[in-house]
A = this chain, B = another copy of it.
Amino acid sequence: MPGLMSRILPKDASFFDTFVELAENIHAGSQALVHMLENYTDPEIQAGAIKALEHKGDNLTHALMTRLNQTFITPLDREDIHELASKLDDVVDLIDAAASRLVTYRVHTIRPGVAELARTLHEATGMVVSAVRELEKHDRVLEFCVEINRLENDGDRLCRALIAKLFDEEKDPIQIIKWKEIIEAIETSTDKCEDVANVLESVVLKSG
């Protein structure tokens, strides 16, 4: 009787909606990062748009936490809600870190391969959206989590190859410092998608 449940627990149900919003927000962030790296025309404005998504994520997370603290019965364990929100927040923070460093470091041209790493991140955030959308029903969450893990491995391999290439080809240490940090921020964002997957998996197995 979902009808009855939603009348009894209308606020609790909306935790799932907020998680979908948070996941869609990180997916929009990774999309904007891919676009920025592929069409590097106006970094300040492009990074500003990503910063706006990061703020939106902060506000959504903050509202969720406030609601969590004021809700007696929650549809998931309190700590899982906290953990999930906090890991989703980390993903968009690192997308913002990558974008804003392109501006701070006055990067003029994007190194080959970096957009590809961001596309892997974007695939991973897409899987996060899919997994979070299934969270209430539990149906295919584990399947999507396997995909996120696979994409994180891809991202890790790509990142190592990019860093090795950076040290092989770039002779200017200042360029190495800048790009190493940008590449690692994108890779760490993909890592955080895996952390999200781990929480989702744990939630599903627990209630399984």
Residues in chain A within 8 A of chain B (CB atoms): 65-66, 69-70, 79, 100, 104-106, 160, 163-164, 167-168, 173-174, 176-178, 180, 198, 202, 205-206, 208
A177 touches B176 (CB 8 A): yes
Is B106 in contact with A168, judged by CB distance below 8 angstroms? yes
Q: How many copies does the complex hold?
A: 3
Complex: A160 Cα to B47 Cα, angstroms: 14
Contact of A173 among B173, B180, B208 (CB under 8 A): B173
User: Could you say which of B70, B167, B168, B178 contacts A205, with CB atoms under 8 Å apart?
Assistant: B70
Q: Which residues from B are CB-within-8-Å of A205?
A: 65-66, 69-70
> What are 15 A-to-B residue pairs whose CB atoms are below 8 Å?
A65-B198, A65-B205, A66-B205, A69-B208, A70-B205, A70-B206, A104-B163, A104-B167, A105-B167, A167-B174, A173-B173, A173-B174, A174-B176, A176-B177, A177-B177
User: Which residue of B is nearest A82, CB measured?
Assistant: B202
The answer to whether residues A104 and B160 also contact, given A167-B178, A174-B173, A180-B177 and a CB cut-off of 8 A, is yes
The complex places the Cα of A202 from the Cα of B206 at a distance, in Å, of 25
CB distance from A84 to the nearest CB of B (A): 14
State which of B69, B105, B180 has its C-beta within 8 Å of the C-beta of A202.
Answer: B69
Q: Determine if A106 and B173 form an interchain contact, defined as CB atoms under 8 angstroms apart.
A: no
Residues in B whose Cβ lies below 8 Å from that of A202? 65, 69
A164 CB contacts on chain B under 8 angstroms = 104-106
A160 to B174 CA separation, bound complex (whole angstroms): 17
A158 to nearest B CB, angstroms?
12
* Chain B contacts for A104, CB-based, 8 A: 160, 163-164, 167
The 7 closest A-B pairs by CB, nearest first: A173-B173, A69-B205, A69-B206, A104-B164, A173-B174, A104-B160, A104-B163
A160 in contact with B208 (CB, 8 Å): no
Q: How far, in angstroms, from A106 to B180 measured CA to CA in the complex? A: 16
Report the minimal beta-carbon distance from A4 to chain B, rounded to whole angstroms.
27
Question: Judging by beta carbons under 8 Å apart, are A177 and B168 in contact?
Answer: no
